[in-house]
Copies of this chain bind each other. A is one copy, B any other.
Amino acid sequence: MPNPIAAMIVIGDEILSGRTRDANMHYLAGQLTEMGVDLKEVRMISDDARIITETVSTLSASYDHVFTSGGIGPTHDDITADCVAAAFDQHIDVRDDARALLAAHYEKTGRELNAARLRMARIPDGATLIDNPVSIAPGFTIENVHVMAGVPSVFTAMVASILPTITGGAPLLSASLRIERGEGDIAGPLAKLAEDFEDLSIGSYPFQDNGVYGANIVARGTDQSRIDALMAELKEVFA
């Protein structure tokens, strides 16, 4: 059975302007690979309601899972929850279960659960909450879309909450070999090997370290014995 396929949507003008460097994509990618979910596409988009709604609609129809990052805080530029609700044509308002979580948290910390903070309890009908042990305000899953916060510590915690509920596939295995020759010398023999190992994905990633140049050859697949066989041949060819 093929692995489940996934897409991610990174939402935020601060990423596209270069002010903030996104960290969530790289983190999620590694987590999904470990559990055998293939991340096929990432879109980074701006805080624009029409674009968020359209992107969620398009990707949720094409992938088994869609993960979003960003735009679920208390301020006026946090519009992701409403856009996701619109994408699924669902009603959204402050929901009792989310409000109860926030009320308990703010009572304990002695802060006011004001109108702005209540925005974080806006959850679409039919969605399931995603636990947020860091700052309490929950994410949510609606159909195949998992809506999470952009702050990396919160995103990471929400990913840890949601991934155990997702069925993975065969974990992607990989092995790599560092070859200290120009990629142009490696490419010919490597292309021949790639034909013999069509069941593996073979990538060549050139490097230059202090005047030493070469490439890391990475083989990825789900069958360890095939990866081992390729690595043995690679070592022989490039010994």
Q: Beyond A43-B42, A183-B73, is A114–B188 a contact (Cβ under 8 Å)?
A: yes
B29 touches A16 (CB 8 A): yes
A187 touches B153 (CB 8 A): no
CB of A172, distance to nearest CB on chain B (Å): 7
CB of A49, distance to nearest CB on chain B (Å): 14
A184 touches B77 (CB 8 A): no
Cα separation A16 to B39 with both chains bound (whole Å): 6
Residues in B neighbouring A115, C-beta threshold 8 A: 188
Cα separation A12 to B116 with both chains bound (whole Å): 40
Pick from B17, B120, B185: contact of A39, CB under 8 Å: B17
CB of A201, distance to nearest CB on chain B (Å): 6
CB of A215, distance to nearest CB on chain B (Å): 8
Residues in B neighbouring A22, C-beta threshold 8 A: 25-26
B77 touches A203 (CB 8 A): yes
B18 touches A32 (CB 8 A): yes
Cα separation A93 to B30 with both chains bound (whole Å): 37
Q: How many residues of A contact B (CB 8 A)?
A: 68
Pick from B14, B31, B32, B76: contact of A187, CB under 8 Å: B76
Binary contact track A35-54/B, C-beta < 8 Å → 1, others 0:
00001111111110001000
In the complex, what residue of chain B is closest to A77 when comparing beta carbons? B203
Residues in B neighbouring A42, C-beta threshold 8 A: 16, 42-44
Cα separation A13 to B39 with both chains bound (whole Å): 9
Binary contact track A5-36/B, C-beta < 8 Å → 1, others 0:
00000001111111111100111111111000
A184 touches B114 (CB 8 A): yes
A29 touches B18 (CB 8 A): yes
Residues in B neighbouring A30, C-beta threshold 8 A: 17-18
CB of A23, distance to nearest CB on chain B (Å): 8
Q: Beyond A73-B183, A76-B194, A77-B202, is A16–B44 a contact (Cβ under 8 Å)?
A: no
Question: A-side interface residues toward B, CB under 8 Å?
Answer: 12-22, 25-33, 39-47, 51, 73-77, 111-112, 114-117, 119-120, 151, 153, 172, 174, 182-188, 190-191, 194, 201-208, 215, 218, 220
What are 5 A-B pairs at a CB distance below 8 A? A18-B28, A19-B218, A41-B43, A115-B188, A116-B183
- Which 8 residue pairs across A and B have the least CB separation, nearest first? A116-B187, A18-B30, A18-B29, A117-B184, A42-B44, A75-B204, A76-B191, A74-B187
